[in-house]
Structure 1
Amino acid sequence: MSPRRRALTGIGLYARSRGLPLALALLAGVCALVVAAAHRTDGAYAAPGWWASVVVLGPLSAAALIGASLYAPSDELDRTAVRPWWPRRLVHLLALSALACVPLALTGSGEGSASVTAALVRNLLGCVGVTAASAVLVGARLSWLPALCCVGAVHLASSEVRGWAVGVWGWPTRPGQEAGAWLAADVVFVLGAALHAARGPRPEGPRA
């Protein structure tokens, strides 16, 4: 077997075992909906409910799809492989995160669009970090649940709170250009990606 055929076979098997074709199609659809919603609400940044529906729920939905794709159907094979699997897990997570960030980074062109775009990208990175860590703790299939609970709790708790600290722990709800929110989201992303790369998703039963 030629090196090219062997490489394509390996990549193809990995992609199919993780359900990457479907994950990529759904991720593209979610990102397209988020971009369309952001364009339609351009200039309505302060409208009631707009922040939660677009800037928070959009990236959270994309991160949930990325987290679900981290499912490993053969945990024993991964652990006993000759070559370490952490580079594959890390590239997988970073590649999907980058693919989701690109359309979100090109969102909007009107008043306030820079802050909206920054918030979308920041929240995507932070939510991916939460789902990656959750995949290690509860499994990839349920990795969306801790992320949803975390973001929902932060959104509710930060609505009436003022002060510098809320800019850090309330990062999903902050304007896009706040340095503290970016720092918190980046730290969450790095820690979640590192934990997932080092440990891998929690073993789960076979698919029904």
Structure 2
Amino acid sequence: MRWIALYARSRHLTASLVALLVCAVAFPPLLGDNWSAFFATIALGSAIAVAGVGLGGQDLDLDRTASFRWPPRRLVHLLLIGALAGGVMLAAQGLVESPMDTGWVLRNAAGLLGLTGLAATLFGGQFGWTLPLGWAMVAAFVPKLADEVYDIVAWPMATADAEAAWWMAGLLFVVGTAAYAGAGARR
């Protein structure tokens, strides 16, 4: 059990959990009847992004020389971020007048989680927030042109039944989680 405490401390899991809860729980009631896909996307993206900062350890050389396998631990860490952010966001939907669909929250949590893992792999754990929050912000301002193109580019803003958005979020989830679990965070 000692390695779990050391892992949690080195990854700043307590601070990440608090920040995740603040993002996912504080935004919905503050916005009340103004709650929309835009604010839900920003809230969920922020919750996952702030928790993603802890995906890299303080000493990557020490992490890489450990006597146990890191990929399963990395995968569990990443999936816990997504489960917590998605679960808290689903629970917070009860606090707003027009809640987001459960499928929408799950799809976006998976896609944004994959982006977090990809960002940690490409840029380092401290920059794990860049891709999910960046994509969420860009998606909010993409003009709605053709349905298929919009659903692919702005998948976080697409409706829960948009098939292309599900495919895009799924692809990002698979690529991001596989990259992070296999390679870990960049220096």
TM-score range, shorter chain: 0.7 to 0.9
Alignment partner for residue 16 of structure 1, among 9, 13, 18?
A: 9
Amino acid at match of 1:133: L
Post-superposition shift, 1:160? 3.3
2:141 maps to what in 1? 156
Structure with bigger gyration radius: 1
Post-superposition shift, 1:130? 0.8
Identity %, equivalent residues? 31
CA distance in 2, matches of 1:98, 1:89: 14
Q: 1:23 to 1:195 in 2, by over 3 A?
A: same
1:179 maps to what in 2? 163
**Conserved in 1, the CA contact under 8 Å of 2:144 and 2:150?**
no
CA distance in 2, matches of 1:104, 1:110: 11
RMSD of aligned alpha carbons: 2.2
Alignment partner for residue 173 of structure 2, among 173, 189, 206?
A: 189
Deviations 1:34-88 (A, max 9, x none): 44257x22xx66xxxx432x22211110111121010211211221222211111
Q: 1:178 to 1:34 in 2, by over 3 A?
A: farther
Q: 1:60 to 1:111 in 2, by over 3 A?
A: closer
1:1-208 equivalences under 5 Å are: 7=1, 9-37=2-30, 40-41=32-33, 50-52=36-38, 54-106=39-91, 107-108=93-94, 113=99, 115=101, 117-157=102-142, 159-203=143-187
CA distance in 2, matches of 1:114, 1:134: 26
TM-score by length of 2: 0.87
Which structure 1 residue ranges, 5 or more long, are not aligned? 1-6, 204-208
Post-superposition shift, 1:109? 8.2
TM-score by length of 1: 0.79
CA distance in 1, matches of 2:18, 2:185: 22
Amino acid at match of 2:162: E
Post-superposition shift, 1:27? 1.1
Deviations 1:81-131 (A, max 9, x none): 22211111111111121112112223238886353x433332222112112
**Conserved in 2, the CA contact under 8 Å of 1:89 and 1:196?**
yes
- The alignment of Structure 1 onto Structure 2 pairs a total of residues equal to 186
CA distance in 1, matches of 2:96, 2:185: 41
**Conserved in 2, the CA contact under 8 Å of 1:66 and 1:96?**
yes
Which structure 2 residue ranges, 5 or more long, are not aligned? none
